[in-house]
Every structure is written in structure tokens, then in C-alpha cells.
Structure 1
Amino acid sequence: MSKQEIPGAFRGFPGCQGRVASAAWGVLTDTDEEAAVKLTRSRDQKMIAGVCGGIARHFGWDVTKVRLVFVVSCLLPGPQVLLYLLLWIVMPEQP
């Protein structure tokens, strides 16, 4: 399967430069593998533990927007704080 065969819903996903689409369909090329960033907690974009900074760096998103979405989501019912703590434990720190 080539990149041209990836369904249109996955092509052009904002902020991911096609990495999500190609990884989801098992079509990683050499340039995709080099561009892929391992999911780790950020050392330089850290407010509490670097989880939001690491997620933003991994997907190529703005760290401020990720933090804002997290804070707003905490106003809704759900296990957001527990998820953050779990990611803090599970995600390795950036080398």
C-alpha cells in the first residue's frame, strides 16, 4: 500500500504532517521514520511534569493549546487528572 492509497480522511490531518496516517496504515517511509518523535515527557516545555509538552512535541502541536485543552477538560466530569498522573508515571523523560 502506498501513501496514495491512504484514505482521504487520514490525509492532511492538521499538525501531524502525515505521520499518523502513514503509521496507522503501516506505510512508514525512511523520511517518516526519521521525522517520527518518540512520546516522552518534555524537559524544556515543562510546567508540572512535562506531559502536555511531550504530547505537543510528539504530534507537532502548540504546547499552549494542549495545556488549554487539558485545563478546560478538567472542568468536565472524567478521570483527566488520573490520566495525567498515569502518563507522568508511564511516559519516560526526554533524554
Structure 2
Amino acid sequence: MATSKLVRPRQGKIIAGVCAGLADRFGISRGLVRLGFVLFGLIGAGEIAYIVAWIIMPKDS
């Protein structure tokens, strides 16, 4: 179920909802997005990208 805007959901999140929000926005699996962040984290880019997205993405109302 893809939404029209990029927001962090209040339900169905694990840490901050960044991966869930990205997955919902683009209509892909939340698990796949989370796996992508873990893989990027192994090379050092995932943590930075997650924190930046956490700061930039608004919470769902």
C-alpha cells in the first residue's frame, strides 16, 4: 500500500520508522528495505543515511 508522501509511521515501526516509511512510500517490502540498510551499514553508509532520514522525515499525523 503505497502512500503519496514520505512519512515515518506511528505503527509497524521497529526503531524510528525510517525503513517502514520508505517501504510504504515506494510500495516495497519493509524487510527488504531493512536488509538494505543493514547491508549499507556494513560499509559504513547505512548508519549515516538512517540518522539523516530520521531527522528529515516527519512523523505521520
Extract unaligned runs of 5+ from structure 2.
none
AA at the equivalent of 1:48: I
Aligned partner of 1:83 in structure 2 is 49
- What percent identity do the matched residue pairs reach? 45
Asked whether the equivalents of residues 9 and 20 of structure 2 are also in contact (C-alpha less than 8 Å), the reply is yes
TM value normalised by structure 2: 0.85
AA at the equivalent of 1:94: D
- Aligned-pair Cα RMSD in Å: 1.5
- Larger RCO of the pair (alpha carbons < 8 Å, separation 6+): 2
After TM superposition, where is structure 1 displaced by more than 2 Å over at least 4 residues in a row? none
Q: Is the radius of gyration larger for structure 1 or structure 2?
A: 1
Deviation (angstroms), 1:80: 2.0
Extract unaligned runs of 5+ from structure 1.
1-34
Corresponding residue pairs, total: 60
TM value normalised by structure 1: 0.57
Aligned partner of 1:10 in structure 2 is none
Partner-residue secondary structure (3-state), 1:46: coil
